[in-house]
Structure 1
Amino acid sequence: MPTSIIGTGQSAYTRHPSPGLDTAQVLAQAVTAALADAGLAPSDVDGLALSSFTLGPDHAIDFAWRMGLKLGWLMQDTNGGASAGGMLQHAVRAIEAGDANVIVLVAGDRMDQGAFARLVARYNRATEDHLAPLPMAGPNALFAMLTQRQMASLGLERRDYGRIAVAQRGWAAQNPGAVYGTALTLEDYLSAPLVADPLGRYDCVPPVTGGDAVVVAADRSGKARARVLSVRASYNADQQDGDGLSTGLRTIAPASWAESGVDPSDVGLACVYDDYPAMVVAQLADLGLLPETGAGRFIAEKIATRALAVNTSGGQLSAGQAGAAGGMHGLVEAARQLMGRAGERQVDARHAVVSGYGMVLYRFGACATTTVLEAAA
């Protein structure tokens, strides 16, 4: 049974949430918007998947009760940037099995400075016991070392990563929901203060308050939708023993392309998890979109020129990383593009690939997901 995304929704992204706003409200706003986009009511929903770092002490069932949802299928995912793909994988299987007909996937957080500090200090046991005691905040230093290694391996320079950040800021200027839409030049990027050499201010994803949601259902003819051709996940692919230059996507990409019947050369849009520009490069390479040689030339000729549309919302680097919703951000954008609802930034693409990446353990992300979508009407 073909399954599709038939509606998308977001709550407002902001660096400064209002004092009365809580995580449940952020998630509810995204769900309400997604259902309205799909032309459905809460009574039509019989499945829910939720991901959030800050919903506690409530859980997915508590949120469903507050929303008035009566469900036959429910899950809660805690895998950060890989949550969207993981939830979509389970939702597709649930619909195929007849366990649910209409499933809402939602992810988001109320993320102010205090919430972010608590998150990075107690992200998991590895962080709490071994990383938090070090004189650094969050994973910037880890990904600075990874970026140095990638630069040496692929012959890249800071300006190559700068072209990615500048290109995404250009897309963000066409996205009214992006937190940062003002122009960014390569000179601005290169002259910005260093955070952890070689990472500067514009290499590090900004945490924001916000939420994202999609509505997943069996195919409905005559309605614009993004059909799910394949969705795969990889967990602990390298057991934290790898060099970080490749992700779990490398192990699942061949099967994902084979199942979808789509070749990487057919893809007109890539929405990859972009906590750092180096991870954009790594995931594009693992997906087979970036050649094994000439990475810098590919960035200059394909990404900077928009010959390949990458992270057309501005990505997390410019739109903002909405807590656990970071993994959902790219899925929402890809679906909107394929349904022709991206406004000024609309691209002409029939196929899109979305990747998720998250849950830094001792060194790098332990989870990765890939989804291939097709425009259908």
Structure 2
Amino acid sequence: MTTPMGHTVTRGSVAIVGAAESDLGAVADRMSPIDLMAQGVHAALADAGLALKDVDGVFCATTQSRFSAMALTEYLGLPNAFTDNTIVGGSSFEIHLAHAHAALELGLCNVAVVAYGSTQRTVGRRAASQREYNPYETPFQPFLPASAYAMAASRHMHEYGTTREQLAEVAVAARQWALMNPVAWEKKPLTIQDVLNARPISEPFTVRDICLVTDGGGALVMTRADRAKALKQTPVYLLGSGQSITHANISSMPDLTHTGAIESGRQAYAAAGVKPADIDVLALYDAFTLNTILFLEDLGFCKKGEGGPFVQGGRIAPGGSLPVNTNGGGLSYCHPGMYGLFILIEAVRQLRGQCGQRQVNGAKLALVHGNGGVLSAQATTILGGPSTV
């Protein structure tokens, strides 16, 4: 894995040693996004057995604070910390992990935290994220991001024969996993017919094809591998990362059925020295049911166009052959606007064996895939337990 400045980072040289969510769901008026970030940082440090005084690297992003790194370092009292405020939507945190990997290996910091917070549900969708004017799209008044993803779904259905029922399978599988997650937002069983009969949002999607709108946040703690071995939790090692930004606006997407996950996955697999068949558990950014199908294809778990049939029959649900989004995903667990941190937290817990009823037995390798914008910014991270390094 090579950084933009040409430095090649070492597979497994850093590890995630702390992971925690902040309050989730609806936090009313008692918390700000920075409050939630700080709450997540303190909880993740406690998980790691470290203290705030140990932290000298801060990586964060949120749509609700333009200068979130400044705000968080001020809040935590860390004026000299190495900071990174990269923001490319929901995949920002997978990119933060790659940046932190390089910073830790180069000695720019010794203990890094990656944090997120959002009060999107409390303040309302429009207040949480103001969209820029786009002369090619804004005059048509699309309902973004739903209309953009719906357009990609319609194209996938047209090209490959993907059905509404197959899209609904993704939502049903996510709900089945969520029923085993004590902190998941949705707690009622869901059927394919429930998805199809739900309130229409943007053709072909109903509200059950679309992620939740919740508040929430969390944090990860990272350090170099030699120090990680002496800390409280089983280290989870960063084995490989990749990223690809193909466009900003959906009207400029090169191909509505092929995402940058093809390239980000290629980079991550090469850096980690693994292939899709080696992966034990997947954590995919499922803002829409289409996402899971696209990413399964583009990351090599099935051929292009075969994602719909691939998810049928409970293959990605509890008891299926490929565990996907074991926390319930953005569709049923939580989705506070930028979801990429939460899939990393779940992957860490799976590799530690801490997921209780939803635990994937013998999980050693996890693939986490983040998505930002409207299928715009793709970032893939491969994590491994101690036996993988």
1:197 aligns with 2:211: no
Do the aligned partners of residues 51 and 28 (structure 1) sit closer, same or farther apart at CA in structure 2, a change above 3 Å counting?
same
1:45 aligns with 2:55: yes
Letter in 2 for 1:236: T
1:351 aligns with 2:362: no
Letter in 1 for 2:191: T
Give the equivalent residue in structure 2 for 1:21.
Answer: 31
Give the equivalent residue in structure 2 for 1:225.
Answer: 235
- Larger CA deviation: 2-11 vs 252-261: 252-261
1:254 aligns with 2:263: no
Unaligned regions of 5+ residues in structure 2, if any? 1-9
Do the aligned partners of residues 137 and 238 (structure 1) sit closer, same or farther apart at CA in structure 2, a change above 3 Å counting?
closer
Give the equivalent residue in structure 1 for 2:15.
Answer: 4
User: What aligned pairs does 1:62-211 form with structure 2 within 5 A after superposition?
Assistant: 62-112=71-121, 114-120=123-129, 122-126=130-134, 131-211=137-217
- Other structure's SS at 1:112 match: helix
Cα deviation 1:88-144 (Å, max 9, x = unaligned): 111000011011111000112111364411345x22343xx5545544432212211
Do the aligned partners of residues 24 and 252 (structure 1) sit closer, same or farther apart at CA in structure 2, a change above 3 Å counting?
closer
Unaligned regions of 5+ residues in structure 1, if any? none
Separation in structure 1 between the aligned mates of residue 137 and residue 210 of structure 2, nearest angstrom: 18
Are 2:246 and 2:253, in contact at CA under 8 Å, matched by a contact in 1? no
Q: CA deviation at 1:146?
A: 1.1
Are 2:88 and 2:372, in contact at CA under 8 Å, matched by a contact in 1? yes
Do the aligned partners of residues 238 and 209 (structure 1) sit closer, same or farther apart at CA in structure 2, a change above 3 Å counting?
closer
- Other structure's SS at 1:291 match: coil
Q: CA deviation at 1:221?
A: 2.3
Return the match for 1:266 from 278, 285, 291: 278
Are 2:296 and 2:307, in contact at CA under 8 Å, matched by a contact in 1? no
Separation in structure 2 between the aligned mates of residue 199 and residue 30 of structure 1, nearest angstrom: 33
Are 1:281 and 1:290, in contact at CA under 8 Å, matched by a contact in 2? no
Return the match for 2:287 from 253, 257, 275: 275
Are 2:60 and 2:116, in contact at CA under 8 Å, matched by a contact in 1? yes
Are 2:40 and 2:217, in contact at CA under 8 Å, matched by a contact in 1? yes
Cα deviation 1:298-337 (Å, max 9, x = unaligned): 212421452101011101011121123x111111111111
Count of matched residue pairs: 367
Do the aligned partners of residues 354 and 192 (structure 1) sit closer, same or farther apart at CA in structure 2, a change above 3 Å counting?
same
Do the aligned partners of residues 102 and 113 (structure 1) sit closer, same or farther apart at CA in structure 2, a change above 3 Å counting?
closer
- Other structure's SS at 2:127 match: helix
Cα deviation 1:17-50 (Å, max 9, x = unaligned): 3222211111111111111111111011110101
Are 1:55 and 1:109, in contact at CA under 8 Å, matched by a contact in 2? no
Give the equivalent residue in structure 1 for 2:40.
Answer: 30
Separation in structure 1 between the aligned mates of residue 96 and residue 277 of structure 2, nearest angstrom: 27
TM-score calculated relative to the size of structure 2: 0.89
Are 1:290 and 1:298, in contact at CA under 8 Å, matched by a contact in 2? yes
Separation in structure 2 between the aligned mates of residue 124 and residue 30 of structure 1, nearest angstrom: 30
Do the aligned partners of residues 27 and 244 (structure 1) sit closer, same or farther apart at CA in structure 2, a change above 3 Å counting?
same
1:312 aligns with 2:326: yes
- Other structure's SS at 1:81 match: coil
Q: CA deviation at 1:200?
A: 0.7
Identity of aligned residues (%): 31
Separation in structure 2 between the aligned mates of residue 38 and residue 113 of structure 1, nearest angstrom: 30
TM-score calculated relative to the size of structure 1: 0.91
Separation in structure 1 between the aligned mates of residue 268 and residue 62 of structure 2, nearest angstrom: 26
